[in-house]
Amino acid sequence: MAGQEAQDWKSMIHRCFRCGYCKFTTTYSDINCPSYKKYRFETYSTGGRLWLAYAALIGDISWSENMANVLYACTTCGNCVENCRFDKFNDFLVDFIEAARAEAAAKGFCPDPQKALLDRTLNSKFYNPYGELHATNAELRKEHELPDEAEWVYFIGCTSNYRQQNIRDATLRFLKRANINFTLIDERCCCSPLFRTGQINSVKEFIDYNIAQIKKTGATKIITSCAGCYKTIKKDWIKFGFDHGMTVYHTAELIYRLISEEKIRFKGKYDKKVTYHDPCHLSRHMKLYEVPREVYKEIPGLELVEMKRNKENAWCCGAGGGVKIGYPEWALEISKERLQEASETGATVISSTCPFCKTNLNDANNKFNTKFQVLDLIELIDKIEFELKCD
């Protein structure tokens, strides 16, 4: 960050007067900032981080490893965005933190665990932050008899393709069952992990590549089952100047649309009590609160129960912002608190709409033996029959 751009950020960051609302829910009943709740030190609140970054930008303090660790010990969940009372400023709070991380990375202070995300993604054997051998999706296209050209592209995302393949496969089966005209591309990472950790120098190459692959199919719509990919493709790509001109849907949106247009109707029952975990990237970042809930409510037999903190006040799963790789034990502590809250509802199933949330919730579920069944919405729908109504 340099020149006029740096001056603009300095000016904007300086507007925070550290009122403290960013740490709480809208009712002030709970501390809802995971990092402040963990460290109980003002520097680990959003306001504290902004002033820390401001001090570094104007040269009052020097960049250091300790300072970088403060900046990176944040899930970028967006609770601060919802609860900051400074209108026209609050929308940029996560952007400020990510911009400060970009400055830290540029100066060589990105922590080593987060650096591994970049190293793996740039490796031509992988092109993903997990360091798994790159999947071209050719076998999946063949298996599901997908065309070269289609109206939709299903952008699978790294977590679904390399860690939560059941979400990927359930999505593929749903799209086929619903007669959606779609295909897959030889995709590379959407760059969400790089944006979140400030390692943005290489994102242009990846975004250009993915857009070119999508456009080769002739598709006008992109669908993804990943909340992180959804936010990145729909918002971050545009913000960084890559206007692809396509409509972006999360699977929950597509399912809701098909239900609303009376193109599908659920027939099978799912007789379980389910509580829904709002993924930060889908809810606070993209304001999709009701759409997933409306889909759950349409499933016969399913009883949807809410946790104490939900929607804009939902407690983060603990995985985002590079915290899962940088502070793995803390990530599970955050998730444990969410599972404890879920247990108070009497639900036997905790469900979400994000493979990364599912991963961390399930890891904590196994570690702390909370005995939930952790399922993504699309996995749940994969278990029941639905009727397809043709035009």
Q: What are the angstrom distances between the C-alpha of 389 and each of 179, 263, 264, 386?
A: 10, 5, 6, 10
CATH 3.40.50.1860 residue ranges of the chain are 265-388
Indicate the pLDDT class of residue 95, thresholds 50, 70 and 90. Answer: very high
Could you tell me what percent of the chain has a pLDDT over 70?
97
Q: What are the angstrom distances between the C-alpha of 380 and each of 262, 272, 274?
A: 20, 11, 10
User: What would the pLDDT profile of 155-208 be if each residue is shown by its tens digit?
Assistant: 999 999 999 999 999 999 999 999 999 999 999 999 999 999 999 999 999 999
Indicate the pLDDT class of residue 7, thresholds 50, 70 and 90. Answer: low
CATH 1.10.1060 residue ranges of the chain are 3-110
Q: Report the chain's C-alpha Rg in angstroms.
A: 21
For domain 113-258, the question of CATH label 1.10.1220 is answered with no
Q: Is the pLDDT of residue 231 over 70?
A: yes
Indicate the pLDDT class of residue 278, thresholds 50, 70 and 90. Answer: very high
Q: What's at 281, amino acid-wise?
A: H
CATH 1.20.1050 residue ranges of the chain are 113-258
Q: What's at 327, amino acid-wise?
A: Y
CATH class, range 3-110: mainly alpha
Q: What is the CATH number assigned to the segment(s) 265-388?
A: 3.40.50.1860
User: What would the pLDDT profile of 46-84 be if each residue is shown by its tens digit?
Assistant: 999 999 998 998 899 999 999 999 999 999 999 999 999
- Enter the pTM of the model: 0.96
User: Residue 342 phi/psi, 5° resolution?
Assistant: -65, -35
Angle between helices 65-72 and 93-106 (to 10 degrees): 150
CA–CA dist 92, 87 (Å, integer):
10
CA–CA dist 157, 168 (Å, integer):
9
